[in-house]
Amino acid sequence: MKVCKAVIPAAGFGTRFLPATKAQPKEMLNVVDKPLIQYSVEEAVDSGIESIGVITSRGKSAIEDHFDISPELEHFLEEKKKLDLLEQIRRISNLAEFCYIRQKQALGLGHAILMAESFVGSEPFSVLLPDDIFDCEVPCIKQLLKIHQKYNATVIVLMRVDEEGMKKYGIVKSKQISERVFKVEDMVEKPGPRKAFSNLAILGRYVFTPKIFEMIKHTSPDHRGEIQITDAIRLLLEEEPVYGYLFEGNRYDCGDKLDYIQASLKLALKRPEFKEPLSELFIKNVDTNDNS
């Protein structure tokens, strides 16, 4: 069955980015020259997704405006003959069909995904966490969809991490079944190196069977009162097989200030127009008091 829908959870407060996120959504922070969330939307669209359900909360209306038409701006750009910009702006509003769903309380990622149940219905669907930017020849979610098609099961994306990563991500216990495919046996949310099953971490891309909604409803809140998607997938493991996939490509973490700055620089360095001036800056060893 073709997966046509994606869910993008974007309801969090973005506390790690305060004060930048006091009056603007974290998902709208600029990365090189477009907002963070646009990377996930484009990845989904490039993977064949047609409808995108964005989970939002109060204060997130800039996301809706970004993917909407903007007649005044379009008129202005047309008059000024800035046709390149006009095309870019129009393209954004034509990317996909968007649906916005409110999560009224911050009750965790699992709960946020559950908010999409009526949007998704009883089909398999994908989830993209916008903090992660994937830069891959074949879009990351497309790689997972291929595995989903093969096994007709839930698939999560995996990456090998160091000890620091074991504190930041969900970690899986699994059996390798081919070079990049793993059959998941168990998982634990951010265990740290001492309790980690392995060095295989879960990143922010998932393809779920609709059964996950029932599992989320049966998941108890964690010590912080949040319903974690990792705990719901553990329940799902008792009912259905779950596969992990070591993706091919690069991934940039935009989850906190330092990671975000590093991700922005690395992505900018990939652009021919920024590569040389930025490289020069590093060679000069950046004196922040020097404006010359």
- In sequence order, the 6+-apart residues with CB closer than 8 A to the CB of 125 are 3, 5, 6, 7, 116, 207, 208, 210
Which segment (50-58, 113-121, 202-210, 241-249) binds ligand G1P by CB under 6 A?
202-210
* Piece of 142-150, 174-182, 225-233, 235-243 that binds ligand G1P (CB under 6 A): 225-233
Nearest residue to the partner ligand G1P, using Cβ: 170
Check binding of 53 to ligand G1P (CB under 6 A): no
Site string for ligand G1P, 117-156 (x = CB under 6 A): ------------x-xx------------------------
Looking at 103, 174, 230, 264, which residue binds ligand G1P (CB under 6 A)?
Answer: 230
Q: Any contact of residue 169 with ligand G1P (CB under 6 A)?
A: yes
**Binding flag, residue 165, ligand G1P (CB under 6 A):** no
The answer to whether residue 17 forms part of the interface with ligand G1P (CB under 6 A) is no
Q: Are 172 and 200 in contact (CB under 8 A)?
A: yes
Specify the residue, 147 or 203, whose C-beta has the smaller distance to ligand G1P: 203
* Measured distance CA(155)–CA(284) in Å, rounded: 45
Question: Which one of 24-32, 90-98, 218-226, 227-235 is the stretch in contact with ligand G1P (CB under 6 A)?
Answer: 227-235
